[in-house]
Amino acid sequence: MSTDTPVQKDEPNASAEQQSAPVQPVSEEPVAPVTETAATDTDAQPSPAPETETVTPPPAEPAPAKPSPVQEEKAAPAPKAAKVSKSPAPEAQPQHRFNKGQQDYLLPFVEDGTLILIGATTENPYFEVNSALISRSRIFELKPLETQDILELIQRAITDVERGMGTYDAVIEPDAARFLADAANGDARAALNAVELGVLTTDRSPDGKIHIDLAAAQECIQKRAVRYDKDGDSHYDTISAFIKSMRGSDPDAAVYYLARMIYAGEDIKFISRRIMICAAEDVGNADPQALTVAVSAAQAAERIGLPEAQIILSQAVTYVACAPKSNAACCAIQDAMEAVKTERAMPVPVHLQDRHYKGAGALGHGDGYLYAHDYPKHYVRQQYLPDGMEGRIFYRPSDNGYETQMKAHMEWLKN
């Protein structure tokens, strides 16, 4: 059944426009397509409504076919994010603001030289930057400025007309400048902010100048800022110095680092734990009371809270720092742990095994055990270590403090 049936000119009921519309032969120039509804059924079932056949006017120009999404994807060139520019572009950012995913994304571009990464951070890069970036970077540590350097910057800020506040005709007294330089703690920005605040808030003297004296400088810096980042190296450096000062029997240094931590807002529970550890590790049995003092101070400080808790912590710190020192207990457990980890674990001697459960006596557990209180000095010589470890020594009391008495007692006991 042909689908190319031409429109009949003498079709009954055809409209005047349809009858007057010229129809071109197929072999001649192309004409507008004829839209035929159900054209394949023309012979079998004539359409009762002639308006279903319409002649579409010829378009001015055929529109190009729109490519499919697949064709577009194939035709579109692949994005080249790594080739933004032909020459490497420096990238300066506060590095500690980048999370791990962002730093991982930068890694291939840094590795192939597309980017020259210049990262600046106020934190320790070994804490904040991925190890992969660290291994491909060169680290430069910028030290805090010396007091003399900050003094020079203060004077320059006061007198420089173009880049400073020289137009205000201000004068800063030497003791005020020294105070600001010292209070800045190596941070030039803090000193310059204080100078600016002093110049803008100080009234002029009768001579027409702005005089910044020590009182004005103290007003500009209400509180001295102590660098103490709880997750970075300043935190660990301070707590390390604190513990080593107690271990080294320097109560003055120990209480100073205690004050720095409290002033910076360190958790008193964290400080208390460090004191208790030091009392056990570095004082030990040379003064068994040190651990008792540390534990009591920790409980009291937590119950009372700051600011009074600083007095309790100071008492514990100075006691531990002044106490006789011994790490014999610490060394003993370390040696014993090493033996357990590296040597074969022999069974407990039979005479020391438990015989309280049913059937233990039938196995011979506990047979031959000597009860120490039945003997003179409440001591009896028998094997306690497993077989093969007889005579092994882990605890060696020192000659400090109470351990001298412990050592003498053990010698008396075994003779």
Q: Tens digits of per-residue pLDDT, 191-249?
A: 899 999 989 988 898 988 999 988 888 888 765 555 555 555 677 888 999 999 999 99
pLDDT at 278: 95
Contact 330, 280 (CB under 8 A): yes
243 vs 239: CA distance, rounded Å: 6
How is 203-266 classified by DSSP, letter by letter?
PBPTTS-EEE-HHHHHHH-SS------TTSHHHHHHHHHHHHHHHTT-HHHHHHHHHHHHHTT-
Which carries the bigger pLDDT value, residue 49 or residue 325? 325
Better-predicted residue by pLDDT, 333 or 234: 333
Q: Which helix (H) or strand (E) holds 135?
A: helix 131-135
| Mean of pLDDT over the chain | 77
pLDDT tier for residue 54 given thresholds of 50, 70 and 90: very low
CB contact at 8 A, 104 and 130 = yes
Q: How would you classify the pairing of strands 170-172 and 34-36? A: unpaired
Least confidently predicted of 43-47, 172-176, 196-200, 320-324: 43-47
Per residue in 279-292, pLDDT (tens digit) is 999 999 999 999 99
- pLDDT (0 to 100) of residue 47: 44
Cα–Cα distance for residue pair 269/312, rounded to 1 Å: 12
pLDDT of residue 127: 73
- The band of 294, judged by pLDDT with boundaries at 50, 70 and 90, is very high
Q: Which residues pair with 92 in a beta bridge?
A: 118
Question: Would you list the DSSP string of 50-81?
Answer: GGGEEEPPPPSSPPPPPPPHHHHHHHSPPP-G
Q: What is the pTM of this model?
A: 0.53
Give the number of other CB atoms < 10 A from CB of residue 18. 17
Instruction: Give the CB-side neighbour count of residue 247, counting CA atoms within 13 A.
Output: 13
The residue that leads in pLDDT, 386 or 131, is 386
Q: β-pairing, 115-120 with 89-94?
A: parallel
**CA nearest 233: which of 102, 139, 136?**
139
Q: What is the pLDDT of residue 226?
A: 57
From the number of C-beta atoms within 10 Å of its C-beta (0-12, 13-18, 19+), residue 389 rates as middle
- Residue written as token pair 């920790």: 298
pLDDT at 358: 67
38: closest CA among 52, 25, 55?
52
Q: Which of 93-107, 240-254, 257-271 has the lowest mean pLDDT?
A: 93-107
Under the banding of pLDDT at 50, 70 and 90, the label for residue 140 is confident
Q: How far apart, in Å, are the Cα atoms of 250 and each of 6, 206, 255, 284, 374?
A: 114, 52, 9, 17, 47
Q: Give the pLDDT score at 309.
A: 92
CA angle 59, 64, 67 (to 5 degrees): 145
- The percent of residues in the chain predicted with pLDDT above 90, rounded, is 26
CA 217 to chain CA centroid, nearest Å: 36
Distance CA 351, CA 366 (A): 4
Instruction: Report the pLDDT value the prediction gives residue 65, as an integer from 0 to 100.
Output: 52
Mean pLDDT of 131-136: 80
Higher-confidence residue of 17 and 239: namely: 239
Cross-strand partners of 172: 212
- Pair of tokens at residue 359: 């059937």
Predicted local distance difference test score (pLDDT) of residue 94: 58
Q: Six-digit token pair at 67?
A: 């490519």
Indicate the range of 12-26, 99-113, 170-184 predicted with least confidence: 12-26
pLDDT of residue 233: 65
Q: Is 172 exposed, middle or buried (CB count within 10 Å of its CB: 0-12, 13-18, 19+)?
A: buried
DSSP 8-state secondary structure symbol assigned to residue 323: S
pLDDT digits (tens, 9 = 90+) for 342-398: 888 888 888 877 777 766 666 767 778 888 888 888 888 888 888 888 888 899 998
